[in-house]
């Protein structure tokens, strides 16, 4: 479907506002799960690696299901998906308040809340990209700050609610707040198509009317035959019982001869309908093959292939810091008097600043967004290497601020993806990339927790995390450097709906 030219304003700013609050409400608790993580450690007495699965699933399962989320948004639209997902997030948070063990939290908080967040994230990013073109970087930066502001506020809010109402009461109240997503989703008015084609009929509606006409005719004939036969036999049997069987046989022969033409027509129509179903199945199978063919074409792009490796390694190494930083401070025996603000809150507010700043930078023509993204990866890796050397609240707070700002590169990641594959392939490509990001989010915190359970210290874990992020950044840089000239020569060989990074950036 061809959409109207993005208005870059108007109702688009309403879309930005409601998308901001949607991400604020749905991602506030999962991103600030580090506060809940400490409570769950004390409540259930499980290991750090095992308990970390709750937060990692909540942040990773939605990304793992990104291909499914993309299909849902493409099929049903952003508004219905957002409203449905609001019920999922609120319900999952409320169910988590009744969790008897850590395994229940894997489902209620990890899978239900995580899947709802993934659907909401895909819906907000897709509809924002449809409404904005020239100001897309600013728009994406604004909506993505919603999750960061949510992290900043929910970190302090959940801690306060736990002190007042306990862990169960905190989750109930946070779940009730998430119901406001329904109001936000109702305002996500879809962008009208330019040609406004009539809605495509479903598979059942596409069946020619003659089949339904014949079906009704066939049913009527059979019903009439049944009624006539039943009435005739009842009358004969009542008047003359010995002749009942003879008349029944005679009546069936007469009615059978009358319905010979109907049976021949029925066989003919069955053959026609069978052929139609075969053609429909072949068409659906061809669409399925086309989907995988487009996926293969995407991976032929060197930048895209390196991008999925980089996002996977970045989430394996970069995400655990935001989840486990509070526990890092507790293990460093920092004096509570020096603990002026939760480290997660610092990460949250600096992530919001980073998303907004990087989003604005992405709109400048002289800024190469891919190189900007690579720079944030390399700096994140170096900051992770420095965490084992931080032994005071001040140094941990400074590193938290740096990591938070650099994590703001999430705001330019959709921008980089769009420039790499084109707006037509954004939903498809973004779903694939978010799947690999989900793998990183799901396995990163448990890996770091297992390192701690094994070594009883976080130093080795963060050395591993820094190495993963640096490796992803260098691989993406190597793929990008020779790609500008190579992709220009190969772009003519690619299908018209596939773009290399350089070509798409000029479109």
The domains of the chain are located at 1-194, 301-483
Domain 301-483 has CATH 1.10.3720.10: no
pTM value surpassing 0.85: no
Q: CB atoms < 10 A from the CB of 316, how many?
A: 24
What is the pLDDT, as a whole number, of residue 471?
Answer: 92
Q: How far, in Å, are 86, 117, 368, 418, 421 from residue 112 at the CA level?
A: 11, 9, 38, 29, 31
Q: Model confidence at 211, in pLDDT bands (50, 70, 90)? A: very low
Least confident of 311-315, 326-330, 369-373, 496-500: 496-500
- Average pLDDT of the segment spanning 420-440: 76
What is the pLDDT, as a whole number, of residue 288?
Answer: 64
Most confident by average pLDDT, 18-27, 284-293, 308-317, 456-465? 18-27
What is the pLDDT, as a whole number, of residue 259?
Answer: 54
String of b and e for 194-212 (b: at least 16 CB within 10 Å)? eeeeeeeeeeeeebeeeee
- Average pLDDT of the segment spanning 320-324: 78
Domain 1-194 has CATH 1.20.1250.20: yes
DSSP for 326-345 reads HHHHHHTT--GGG--S-HHH
Q: CB atoms < 10 A from the CB of 46, how many?
A: 16
Residue 334, pLDDT > 90, answer: no
Rounded Cα distance between 313 and 369, Å, is 19
Rounded Cα distance between 7 and 189, Å, is 13
The rounded percent of the chain whose pLDDT value lies above 70 is 74
- Average pLDDT of the segment spanning 40-48: 84
Q: Do domains 1-194 and 301-483 have the same CATH topology?
A: yes
């Amino acid at each position: 479907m061809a959409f109207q030219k993005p208005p870059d304003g108007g109702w688009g700013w309403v879309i930005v506002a409601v998308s901001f609050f949607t991400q604020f409400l749905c991602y506030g608790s999962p991103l600030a799960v580090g506060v809940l993580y400490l409570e769950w450690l004390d409540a259930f007495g499980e290991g750090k690696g095992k308990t970390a699965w709750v937060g990692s699933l909540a942040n990773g399962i939605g990304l793992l299901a990104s291909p499914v989320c993309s299909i849902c948004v493409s099929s049903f639209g952003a508004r219905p998906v957002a409203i449905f997902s609001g019920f999922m997030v609120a319900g999952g948070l409320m169910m988590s308040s009744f969790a008897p063990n850590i395994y229940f939290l894997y489902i209620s908080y990890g899978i239900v809340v995580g899947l709802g967040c993934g659907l909401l994230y895909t819906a907000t990013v897709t509809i924002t990209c449809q409404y904005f073109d020239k100001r897309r970087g600013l728009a994406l930066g604004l909506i993505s700050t919603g999750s960061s502001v949510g992290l900043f506020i929910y970190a302090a809010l959940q801690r306060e609610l736990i002190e007042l109402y306990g862990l169960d009461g905190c989750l109930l109240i946070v779940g009730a707040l998430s119901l406001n997503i329904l109001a936000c989703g109702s305002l996500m008015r879809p962008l009208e198509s330019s040609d406004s084609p009539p809605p495509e009929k479903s598979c059942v509606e596409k069946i020619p009317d003659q089949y339904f006409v014949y079906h009704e005719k066939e049913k009527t004939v059979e019903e009439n035959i049944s009624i006539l036969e039943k009435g005739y036999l009842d009358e004969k049997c009542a008047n003359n019982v010995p002749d009942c069987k003879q008349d029944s046989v005679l009546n069936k022969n007469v009615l059978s001869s009358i319905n010979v033409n109907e049976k021949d027509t029925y066989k003919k129509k069955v053959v026609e309908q069978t052929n139609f179903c075969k053609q429909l199945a072949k068409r659906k199978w061809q669409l399925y093959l086309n989907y995988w063919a487009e996926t293969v074409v995407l991976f032929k792009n060197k930048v895209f292939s390196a991008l999925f490796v980089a996002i996977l390694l970045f989430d394996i190494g970069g995400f655990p810091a935001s989840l486990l930083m509070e526990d890092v401070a507790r293990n460093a025996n920092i004096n509570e008097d020096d603990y002026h603000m939760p480290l997660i809150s610092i990460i949250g507010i600096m992530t919001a600043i980073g998303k907004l700043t990087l989003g604005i930078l992405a709109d400048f023509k002289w800024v190469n967004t891919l190189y900007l993204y690579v720079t944030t990866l390399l700096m994140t890796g170096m900051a992770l290497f420095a965490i084992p050397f931080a032994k005071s609240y001040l140094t941990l707070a400074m590193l938290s601020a740096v990591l938070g700002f650099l994590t703001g590169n999430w705001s330019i990641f959709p921008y980089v993806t769009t420039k790499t594959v084109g707006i037509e392939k954004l939903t498809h490509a973004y779903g694939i990339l978010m799947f690999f990001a989900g793998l990183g989010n799901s396995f990163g915190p448990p890996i770091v927790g297992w390192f701690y359970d094994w070594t009883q210290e976080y130093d080795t874990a963060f050395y591993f995390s820094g190495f993963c992020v640096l490796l992803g950044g260098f691989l993406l840089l190597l793929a990008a450097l020779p790609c500008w000239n190579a992709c220009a020569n190969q772009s003519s060989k690619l299908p018209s709906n596939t773009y290399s990074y350089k070509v798409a950036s000029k479109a």
